[in-house]
Chains A and B, each alone.
Chain A
Amino acid sequence: MRNLPVKGPLLFLIMVFVPFFLSIFYVNLLTEIFILGVFALSLNILVGQTGMVSLGHAAFFGAGAYAAGLAAIHVSTNTFLSIAAGLLAAFLLAVIIGLFSTKANGFYFLMLTLACSQIVYSIIYQWRTVTGGSNGLTGIAPIDLGANIVLSNQVWVYYFILVVFTIVLFLINRFLHSPLGSVLIGIRENEERMKSIGYNTALYKNISFIIAGTLGGLSGSLYVIFNGFISPAEVYWTASGSVLIMVLIGGAGTLWGPVIGAAFIVILETLISSYMENWMMIIGAVFIIFVIFAPDGMVGIFNALKKFFVQPKKLEVDADEPIIKPIKQETKMDG
């Protein structure tokens, strides 16, 4: 990652200038991509890095979004406060769910997270007096940074979320290469061996779960700030499914994969839904094609192409590549 310090700020600058060239529609689209990118990045910590495939990540998104929305409505319109509320709610939820679900392995983990997220969904759905039930939560104030700075313009919202997204991306990049990140990769590759080396893998799995859940809550609170609205549909397990699809289509275990996957799904959804309402079908088909023909996702395709075209400089390219290879799926999923 030697050249990242150049590429990253350049990309950031391009994104800063985007609103000067594109219409508000595309700016909103980009904002949504950033928010769901954070969501996908958070799931990637679990799926890509620790090798625990969760099908209930929308619970944290929902907890963060509802907590942030409720804080904005009832307590204060200050955005930092609502984000803090969202993070706290998602953190607490992740602690509780993590205690149960990280005890299970493989498909049992998948089922347990699914069940827990459905519990969260039904709580949100049935607790009408607080969450508004199926009508959702409306009337959430625009971004208020305190000291009378209110960002009601969509472009300012874009900038705010761009900054948060950049910080998250930077932190996750550091996290991927941190010692803790390496321990998680070790758990993904061979949990038994990590155990015998002397790592308390249960604890590390819990930590990974909590980090992922809290970040998911962050993306939920960003979403509710951007949208001004949240409904139980965002907490349903199809939402968990689509974020899993984003991670896997983009490339699990890589830094940019989840973001690319989120961008791909959001753009595809926008494109298809302007022609027909059955976008789930198309996404399902695209997903199947990816699972069969490109299990490493778009980043995998990109890397293969890079290797193909930059054959002579192979050694250098390999040295630049992070140690993180896409998830090996056979290890823990043998039912």
Chain B
Amino acid sequence: MSTLLLQLINGFSYGFLLFIITCGITIVFGILGVLNLAHGSFYLLGSYLGYSLIMKAGLPFWAALAAVPLIIAVLGYMLETIILRPTYKLGHLSQVLLTFGLAYIFHDLFAILWGKNMLVVDPPPALNMSIQLAGYSVPAYRIALIVIGLAIAIFLWFFQEKTKWGAVIRAGLSDKEMAAGLGVNIHLVFTFVFVLGSLFAGVGGVIGSPILGAFPGMEFQILILSLVVLVVGGLGSVSGTLIASLLVGFVETFSRYLVPELSLIITFALMAVVLVVRPQGLIGRRV
């Protein structure tokens, strides 16, 4: 019972972490039509920067959590305006390949700057303890992760469904040309969405690092998990991404606990089944 509860909490927190990482790539893919294969690199850069700020520079965790996503967002802004914007005419495939080349470059830059060892970030001292929950001790950081993930999900839902900017983004999602024709500066929306996606990758990088650590090649693992969530959840809805993240988080956690050898296979099998049965994702529009 105790292990079951613990795995439940683990699955939940992992799922919410996945949600934070994945909502960026989903929204960027939905609006720009560009599958950002460098998204995992953004995440890992967030982890590494968090490591440098927290473990090396000695800044408090929350300061890093505020600073790192901003840095990643600025980087995302630069990439969108310098590399992606001039290349929209080349077609989406070329842009995806561009981000793929970027992932290659980032991979080696990380190895140069942060070495090849696994780096671990300590959770903030206030949360570095256990909480008694129904008689069992549960790591407080995991609970905090759930709370943060939930807050971001609610924020995103509110933003997308209830604000004017959200309406513009939804318009862009369903028909970019029409939205542009109605006077929406769609390029500005593209940039904004890309920056937002990078920002969340940075957030995920910082708050994910105490749990997942940071090591070379990790960006590809994260990227592939994000793609699984993207496919399972479908495009363009916060709720779809959230449900898919939680589902993947649970499947991954429990399969790792029950049949560790097959955990990766089970996760990908889930994706394959969803793609074949419901190509548009569990919740999402048909593409």
Q: Which A residues lie at the B interface, using CB under 8 A?
A: 53, 100, 103-104, 107-108, 110-112, 114-116, 118-119, 122-123, 126, 237-238, 241, 244-245, 248, 278-281, 283-285, 287-288, 291-292, 295, 329-330, 333-335
Contact = CB atoms under 8 A, between A and B. Distances in A.
Given A100-B275, A103-B279, 5 more contacts: A107-B29, A107-B92, A278-B112, A285-B101, A291-B87
B279 A285 contact: no
Given A100-B276, A329-B90, A107 B96 contact: yes
Nearest to B263: A122
Contact of B108 (A104, A115, A119, A278): A278
28 contacts: A100-B272, A104-B275, A107-B96, A108-B275, A108-B287, A110-B35, A111-B231, A112-B231, A115-B227, A115-B231, A119-B265, A119-B269, A122-B264, A126-B261, A281-B107, A281-B108, A283-B104, A284-B102, A284-B107, A285-B101, A287-B100, A287-B104, A288-B102, A291-B97, A329-B94, A333-B91, A333-B92, A334-B33
Nearest to A284: B104
Interface secondary structure of A, over-half rule: helix
Interface residues of B, number: 43
B127 interface: no
Interface string B99-115: 01111110111011000
Contacts, number: 123
A281 B83 CA distance: 17
A238 B112 contact: no
B271 interface: yes
A103 B276 CA distance: 7
Nearest to B92: A333
A281 B104 contact: yes
Contacts of B107: 280-281, 284
Contacts of A281: 104-105, 107-109
B254 interface: no
B34 to A, nearest CB: 8
Nearest to A99: B276
